[in-house]
Structure 1
Amino acid sequence: MAVSCIHIVFLLCLVPATVASPRTRRLRKSPTDIAATSPPPSDPSRPTTFFEVDRPLRPPPGSSGPCSTLLLSASFAFTFTKPPATAAYSPPACLAAAGGGASAISLAVLEWRATCQGVQYDRIFGVWLGNAELFRGSTAEPTDNGIVWSVSKDVTKYAALLAAGNSTLAVFVENLVNDDLTGVYYANVTLHLYFHGGGSPATRPPPAVGPADLIVPMSRGLPLNDGLWYKIQNASDVQSTSATLPSNTYRAVLEVFVSFHGDDEFWYTHTPADGDANGPFREVTVRVDGDLAGAAWPFPVIFTGGINPLLWRPITGIGSFNLPTYDVELTPLLGKLLDGKPHAFGLAVTNAMDVWYVDANLHLWLDSNSTSTAAGLVSYVAPELVTNTTSSRTTASRTISATGWVSSSYGNITTNATQAFAFENDNAGDNTINQTTVANAGVSATDLAAGVLYYSVQTTQRFPLRFDSEANGVTVTHGVEETTVAAGQWSSVGPRYRSLRTTQRSVVEGGGSSWGIGQTYRYEASDGCYFRNVTSSGYNIVSDQSSEVCEKGVPAGDGR
């Protein structure tokens, strides 16, 4: 029996059919079935508001704004095999008034606000500026009375793009409308800008730790009749983009966008016991000229129609409205990239089944005081991936380490980048899945001769997931645990300490007659804190407590 997928159109004739999986677990329910069997909202005359729990975005103290600009307003009905919606982009006039350059921006927020009514699946969408992806999300599944939701994403890291000049904004929502699927998505995309010091131009941030000077898109680009992402269809598929780096580059980071659909939407449920040789482990690998440069082990995002849509109404799954991205430090490899020649930046997915959507942005920091930098590789260690699989348990681990030097006007700086991953998945075939992914990443930049640490950033992530299914119910518990610690002379931009702990438990009982969601969210950092504890029963919020007061021991601005 084939696996149901996030986009039912894959089973139609608009695109090639996906390869059927030998698995027998069905983790998708038809929106029509859900509408017929689930209780209606408490007030059917009003649309239901869906939301993903996240912290509010606050500009730095002393900022002016916001300056808000509607970038695009569009409807998305039958969009398969159609071009993205586009709009001409030029930097808002308020940016010129604030100094005109990227350094004037203290906070940039991209807001997505959408509505839909009728019967429809959740759909993946993306927003690109100048072919560089800024935002990827999933829509909510609508109801007959209609739904509304909004997402605000911090896009300050793209300040160079926002200030660069005339460009094209593209938005693609993969949607299908017919006699059965009637939901049309209506969306507004708005940019909110805040500026340093009441509108006066800011001093340039320390090198390498502020937003990049140049962002090179690693996508398919316009024009096309689809999203700008690449599609990975199997484990041997590698999608790559060629780019020539400016000769005065002194830092490079690849930001990777990832989402999984079709036969691999629920990749963490695959087991050899079900006849699936691919198993439950997935990783996205980054390759430079064919050589492994880094990896991303993805957070298992569950879209709003996944497993049972009632699990995510009205509090949607972690990361579903604003999918996470993954950074891979490439600075140690600049010795091979600064030769004035094009180089291939490739993306692949270990054990992939059809289909993964991937693209990337190459963030580059340029030495404005020089026309060229010099660089060299000191060491590179990347042992083979280690995996172990039995009929009910899969484990995996990988380490990658690279060290290289760059000589620029800032000095001769040696950068060390490390990644260490661990993964375990237990699936005994009793409708219970336990999975944990751990990812550790570290970057340090040092002037070895002077004994000066310019910056160091160490991040630890843990993604627990538990899935329990019974004849008349299902429970999903998942979360994110992330800690980042920064240090060094240049680490004055952003918090030097940041911790996020969020856990969500969603339950559907009685075959869909009742459901409830509970989520705790705790963010603690040296620049502020945020706590929220929210629970729902059916469509109703039964308790919601939040606070931005830091607890003793983690005061705002403590400088850690």
Structure 2
Amino acid sequence: MDCPIFFFFLLLTLLPTLSAGFPRSKLLTLELEQSQTPTPTPTTFFQVTRPITPPPNSTHCSTLVLTHDFAYTYTKPPVTSLYNPPTHCTPRAPPSLAVLEFSSTCIGRQFDRIFGVWLGGAEILRSCTAEPRASGIAWSVQKDITSYSSLLSRPQTLAVYLGNIVDATYTGVYHVNVSIHLYFDHRAADKKKASAAAAAGFGSPADLIVPLSRPLPLNDGLVPGQRLDRHRDGAVRRSRNTFRAVLEVYVSFHSDDEFWYSNPPDEYISANNLSSPGNGAFREVTVSLDGDLVGVIWPFTVIYTGGINPLLWRPITGVGSFDLPTYDIDVTPFLGKVLDGKKHTIGFGVTNGLDVWYVDGNLHLWLDSKSSYTVGSLIEYKAPGFRPSLVSKFKGLDGSFDTRAHRQISATGWVKSSHGKITTNFFQRLDYENLMEFKGNGSVQVVNQTIEFSYGTYAKHPATVLYSEQVYRKFPLYLYTGSSDEVNDSYSLDANVMLGYDEKRFSGERFGFSFSTLRNLQNAQGTMYVKGNLVTGGLEEYSGSVQIREHRRLLLQECEQQQLHYSSRRVWKFLHRGLGILFHPMTT
């Protein structure tokens, strides 16, 4: 994806040589569509993920918030609409479940586009469009937005930024509907009220959400985040009765860093006189408070719908491409510093980052309704510096690179409110390994990467543990890209991708605990056949599995497991009238 900085595609004539090993090109997407015979039935794209299940016997209210056709919207302000809470239901409590639904159709030639949705200035969805086809496409994204319940109880401005270009070449217009669905289960709400942990801000949505986005109106909706500072201290100053705070961070990477995990070191690029993106394959998003590091993010490697080989993601898109992951950092231990009535700054940075990263965030605050102010203090803070290690071995265009990193961060602090004196510890432990290899005079690149990321929060009264949560995530990635020579000036462009998102989550309180696991694994491989400047065929295979397991124990025991396996195999055959050099801003 791109930003205001343009993304230049590699010349097709270079692909059979050294550049073919780099997963940079999305040149073939439009040409494939030109050569196929359109069918009247549009392709429905979907992302396999954890299902959203409404509470049984709950009441349901829906409202259509926005309908718009996104034609030439690049560099223009976001499209806005007024959200009003549904009037056809009168809930006695916040919703047990809130779901944002973004649905769209498109016919014509177009690239995938990054977009975002904001409510009351707070970003609630970062996503990528499906890549259009001549026969038309349709897709829908559903996201659980229950954590934003405080925004849903009163009128708000809903904004959507989708930077699209429509001209003689790019003809696709995105026809978009945005709806919000609310589900109310009063019995579940009454049970939550009885929980001491929920009363202390654990397991219940925040009372106030402070956006760290730029305020409307905007010239565009997303902000480059190589080095950003955010001043939103006014709302925090007015909320000096805060007793818990969690920073939610949105991250996406584009242009020169869309495939950051495949970027070779600068020494390799310099030695071979290449112009490909570099800075190595390690990236880290840093989050600071008044210049002090409070947490880091080693991001999941989202592959957008036009990434590497667009045929791989039809109709099943890559993990996280329709609903990019967010990352939580518990900053409660630092509340004693923030609630002093002075000005404070939250900063974002990207270690080794190239253009362009979009980094955004929301500060979720829990307020003490029985007091006008709270007090606190930081007890212990550890954030030692570190430097990734690199073992580099190469000769000419062939070689290998082994990059590794390890980091730990922890903070402990107390906050005194009407709930008592609660001591909170937040920690992060991260491990990273990237093994990269170039073969065949640089025509083949293999990347084998693993990110392991665990974090947790422990909150306790002086005499007992109030709440604990620990999350373990593992992001495996295998990527093979290359070209092979055939006969009669023909060659093939090959790609093989394995992408995984594993998560284990444990949470416990005084009277119960819950444990859940999510394993989402995708395997995709495809080949495009090229003769001269003509694409003559293609083959794509796809398989994957999702395993979801949940276990809760609270006086009674409940256990459920869901498992899904899916696969597809398609062969593309087509004629082609010619292949041009493409240039497009603001695409994925």
Write the distance in 2 (CA, Å) between the matches of 1:23 and 1:457.
45
Q: Give deviations 1:502-550, integer Å, cap 9, x for gaps.
A: 100011025351102111001111264322111112289xxxxxxxxxx
Query: Higher RCO, 1 or 2 (CA under 8 Å, sep at least 6)?
Result: 2
Does residue 468 of structure 1 match 2:480? yes
Structure 1 residues 441 and 253, CA gap change in structure 2 (3 angstroms): same
Find the residue that maps to 1:380 and give its secondary structure: strand
Tell me the CA shift for residue 118 of structure 1: 0.8
Contact 1:139-1:321 within 8 A present in 2 as well = yes
Find the residue that maps to 1:332 and give its secondary structure: helix
Find the residue that maps to 1:354 and give its secondary structure: coil
Aligned to 2:253: 260
Return the match for 1:111 from 94, 97, 101.
Answer: 101
Tell me the CA shift for residue 341 of structure 1: 1.8
122-131 vs 504-513, which moves further: 504-513
Aligned length: 509
Tell me the CA shift for residue 94 of structure 1: 4.0
Tell me the CA shift for residue 335 of structure 1: 1.1
Does residue 515 of structure 1 match 2:534? no
Matches within 5 A, 1:421-460: 421-430=430-439, 431-448=445-462, 450=463, 452-460=464-472
TM-score of the aligned structures, taking structure 2 as reference length: 0.83
Find the residue that maps to 1:343 and give its secondary structure: coil
Structure 1 residues 539 and 338, CA gap change in structure 2 (3 angstroms): farther
Aligned to 2:130: 140
Question: Aligned AA for 1:81?
Answer: T
Question: Aligned AA for 1:410?
Answer: H
Return the match for 2:80 from 62, 65, 86.
Answer: 86
Structure 1 residues 300 and 504, CA gap change in structure 2 (3 angstroms): same
Matches within 5 A, 1:7-406: 10-11=6-7, 25-30=22-27, 31-36=29-34, 44-65=39-60, 67-94=61-88, 97-99=90-92, 103-163=93-153, 165-197=154-186, 204=193, 205-209=198-202, 210-227=204-221, 229-232=222-225, 234=226, 237-244=227-234, 245=236, 246-272=239-265, 273-275=268-270, 278-391=279-392, 392-406=401-415
Tell me the CA shift for residue 423 of structure 1: 0.6
TM-score of the aligned structures, taking structure 1 as reference length: 0.87
Matches within 5 A, 1:494-513: 496-511=514-529, 513=538
Write the distance in 2 (CA, Å) between the matches of 1:6 and 1:34.
22
Write the distance in 1 (CA, Å) between the matches of 2:167 and 2:526.
29
Structure 1 residues 201 and 411, CA gap change in structure 2 (3 angstroms): closer
Question: Aligned AA for 1:532?
Answer: L
387-396 vs 509-518, which moves further: 509-518
Find the residue that maps to 2:215 and give its secondary structure: coil
Does residue 483 of structure 1 match 2:504? yes
List runs of 5+ in structure 1 lacking aligned partners.
Answer: 13-21, 541-560
Aligned to 1:19: none
Write the distance in 2 (CA, Å) between the matches of 1:345 and 1:8.
24
Structure 1 residues 40 and 415, CA gap change in structure 2 (3 angstroms): farther
Aligned to 1:549: none
Contact 1:444-1:456 within 8 A present in 2 as well = yes
Contact 2:539-2:571 within 8 A present in 1 as well = no
Tell me the CA shift for residue 61 of structure 1: 3.4
Return the match for 1:420 from 429, 437, 440.
Answer: 429
Q: Give deviations 1:113-141, integer Å, cap 9, x for gaps.
A: 11111111100010000110011100011
Return the match for 2:566 from 519, 534, 543.
Answer: 534
Structure 1 residues 194 and 416, CA gap change in structure 2 (3 angstroms): same
Structure 1 residues 490 and 172, CA gap change in structure 2 (3 angstroms): farther
Write the distance in 2 (CA, Å) between the matches of 1:259 and 1:539.
32
Write the distance in 1 (CA, Å) between the matches of 2:350 and 2:503.
23
Find the residue that maps to 1:390 and give its secondary structure: strand
Question: Aligned AA for 1:28?
Answer: S
Write the distance in 1 (CA, Å) between the matches of 2:82 and 2:511.
36
Tell me the CA shift for residue 6 of structure 1: 4.5
Write the distance in 2 (CA, Å) between the matches of 1:34 and 1:345.
45
Contact 1:249-1:373 within 8 A present in 2 as well = yes
Tell me the CA shift for residue 35 of structure 1: 2.1
Q: Give deviations 1:312-349, integer Å, cap 9, x for gaps.
A: 01110000011000000100001100101221111111
Question: Aligned AA for 2:452?
Answer: V
Tell me the CA shift for residue 208 of structure 1: 1.2
Tell me the CA shift for residue 311 of structure 1: 0.9
Tell me the CA shift for residue 60 of structure 1: 2.6
Write the distance in 2 (CA, Å) between the matches of 1:502 and 1:72.
32
Query: What is the identity percentage for the equivalent residue pairs of Structure 1 and Structure 2?
Result: 46
Write the distance in 2 (CA, Å) between the matches of 1:490 and 1:169.
39
Write the distance in 2 (CA, Å) between the matches of 1:84 and 1:371.
37
Write the distance in 1 (CA, Å) between the matches of 2:571 and 2:457.
44
Contact 1:207-1:490 within 8 A present in 2 as well = no
List runs of 5+ in structure 2 lacking aligned partners.
Answer: 9-17, 271-276, 393-400, 440-444, 484-491, 530-536, 553-559, 573-588
Contact 2:479-2:495 within 8 A present in 1 as well = yes
Tell me the CA shift for residue 200 of structure 1: 8.6
Find the residue that maps to 2:232 and give its secondary structure: strand
Contact 1:6-1:306 within 8 A present in 2 as well = no
Q: Give deviations 1:479-503, integer Å, cap 9, x for gaps.
A: 01110001123877xxx11100110
Contact 1:248-1:372 within 8 A present in 2 as well = yes
Structure 1 residues 207 and 491, CA gap change in structure 2 (3 angstroms): farther
Tell me the CA shift for residue 226 of structure 1: 0.6
Contact 1:405-1:413 within 8 A present in 2 as well = yes
Tell me the CA shift for residue 206 of structure 1: 3.1
Q: Give deviations 1:405-464, integer Å, cap 9, x for gaps.
A: 01111111110000011111111213110001110101000113x2x1110000000000
